[in-house]
Amino acid sequence: MAVQRTFSIIKPDATRRNLTGKINALLEAGGLRIVAQKRIWMTKGQAEAFYGVHKERPFFGSLVAFMTSGPVVVQVLEGEDAVAKNREIMGATNPANAAEGTIRKTFAESIEANSAHGSDSIENAAIEIAYFFSGLEIVG
Ligand code: IDP
Ligand code: MG
């Protein structure tokens, strides 16, 4: 497996409860390095574009409202097999189905307010990283 980069978001439910450090500790303990990170408050337009793939889903409007309800921490994570590794550390979308010790099992409030985002493929990771970060902001 090769060293990869993936894109991560610590979602508003987690920043609201001051969980950034605890989530970062799980990412780092899982072998991922945070090579870029910033705290932002997404606009409606930014959230709609980021989640554009879900625009026909019934939860789209609610998801955009949630993702713009407070600050988020956007991150680039680097490590061996980083895309799949981060999905493993996050756990299943619905915290009720997430494995013990995962971010979502430990911290998520609901299937929507599930504390973390992680890219689902290497291709999408590259697109999502480029949406939020310039190359100069990523220090490997
Ligand atoms: P993922 O974040 O595990 O990749 P996706 O299916 O890509 O899951 O969904 C994106 C986000 O949309 C989820 O993380 C969650 O916040 C929200 N979401 C997904 N499914 C539902 C649902 O059935 N109801 C409400 N929100 C949902
Ligand atoms: Mg997804």
For the cut 80, the answer to whether the pLDDT of residue 85 exceeds it is yes
Q: pLDDT (tens digit, 9 = 90+) per residue, 28-66?
A: 999 999 999 999 999 999 999 999 999 999 999 999 999
The neighbouring-strand residues paired with 37 are 75
| Of the candidates 67, 77, 62, 63, the residue with the CA atom closest to the CA atom of residue 40 | 67
* Ligand 1 atom nearest to 93, measured from its CA: 3
Cβ of 92 below 6 Å from ligand 1:
no
Cβ of 109 below 6 Å from ligand 1:
no
Which of 117, 128, 132, 133 is flagged as catalytic?
A: 117
pTM above 0.85, yes or no: yes
Q: Measured on CA atoms in the order 49, 52, 54, 56, is the torsion positive or negative?
A: positive
Ligand at minimal distance from the CA of 102 is: 1
For the cut 90, the answer to whether the pLDDT of residue 1 exceeds it is no
Q: Position 127: which residue type?
A: I
Q: Give the other-Cβ count within 10 Å of 116's Cβ.
A: 26
Has 54 been annotated as catalytic?
Answer: no
Q: pLDDT (tens digit, 9 = 90+) per residue, 95-127?
A: 999 999 999 999 999 999 999 999 999 999 999
d(CA 112, CA 27): 20
Cβ of 59 below 6 Å from ligand 1:
yes
The neighbouring-strand residues paired with 53 are none
